[in-house]
Structure 1
């Protein structure tokens, strides 16, 4: 399966859409942009996208 197909999950799509313009957001800021997504779910999908190499996380 290609990585792009893994983006078809609705939560992952919302995360990518929030970041698509090149914005650099902290998980807290991302949570404010996506208030309909529970924090635990958001963090899980951020980690998933990071593990796929779709997003980068700066420390």
Structure 2
């Protein structure tokens, strides 16, 4: 019983970490998109394709 609870806790912790990572990426994406829009007048379509390409290439997303 205790072992099963431990395994469930580990699984929940992994899920939580995945969700937090996705949220971090989304926050950084929107932050970068807003920065590009404000400073370089880059539209959302370009910004999305830029980040999508970076993610597909396995590159780190730039952080301000």
Q: If the length of structure 2 is used for normalisation, what is the TM-score?
A: 0.35
TM-score with structure 1 length normalisation? 0.37
Higher helix share: 2
Q: Give the structure with higher Rg (CA).
A: 2
